[in-house]
Structure 1
């Protein structure tokens, strides 16, 4: 059994998840929209294009997501999606792409006592991220 991350978006789920797949090399699986529901009772509030459920494979993990109506959407808090890029160059590439037009940069990329490069930010879609490249500071 492995934990799975499930993200909620404010009407831009497909855009966000497609962008994440492009940046991180993920693969989008099934996308089920409101309009795919068999009857009106099975739909969530909102238009036919709203994503009810979708998945993205990223390495051995699955990231799932859906849209929420404006009334039901809550800002994510209390967690961050954490990535450990394999190189400083990959860290910089991923940070540059995910942090573009970020809502908040809580900690810009910098060296810490545990990592050559570390950053925390909330991207344009409201997803909280943490990037960590240990480099030469890796514990063996």
Structure 2
């Protein structure tokens, strides 16, 4: 069993997931919109374009996401999507793309006692991220 990351957005699901697909090299494998629901009763309150569920293959992992009706949406907290780039160059590329117009950068990219480079930020879509490049500090 492998965990699946499930992200919830406030109307920006498709834009966010397309950005993650391009930035992370993923592949969107399915999108179901409110208008795809078989009956009016099975639709969520919101526009027909609202994403009810979508998935993206990212390596061996799956990232799923949806838009939440405004009354249900809560800002993500208590977790981060954590990535371990294979190089400093990849770290820098990911940070530049994911942190562009970030809502917050809690910890700018810097060296730590456990990693050559580490950062924590919340992207423009509200997703909290951590990037960690261990480099020569990798535990063996």
What range describes the TM-score normalised by the shorter chain of this pair?
A: over 0.9
Summarize deviations over 1:78-111 as a string: whole Å, max 9, x none: 1000000000000000000000000000000000
Residue 71 of structure 1: CA displacement?
Answer: 1.2
Find the residue that maps to 1:121 and give its secondary structure. Answer: strand
Structure 1 equivalent of residue 71 of structure 2: 71
Give RMSD over aligned pairs.
Answer: 0.5
Equivalent residue runs for 1:26-105 within 5 Å = 26-105=26-105
Find the residue that maps to 1:14 and give its secondary structure. Answer: helix
Find the residue that maps to 1:75 and give its secondary structure. Answer: coil
Structure 2: gaps of 5 or more residues: none
Structure 1 equivalent of residue 124 of structure 2: 124
Structure 1: gaps of 5 or more residues: none
Find the residue that maps to 2:70 and give its secondary structure. Answer: coil
TM-score of the pair, normalised by structure 1: 0.99
Summarize deviations over 1:31-83 as a string: whole Å, max 9, x none: 00000111111111100000000000000000000001111100001100000
Question: 1:83, 1:8 → 2: CA distance?
Answer: 19
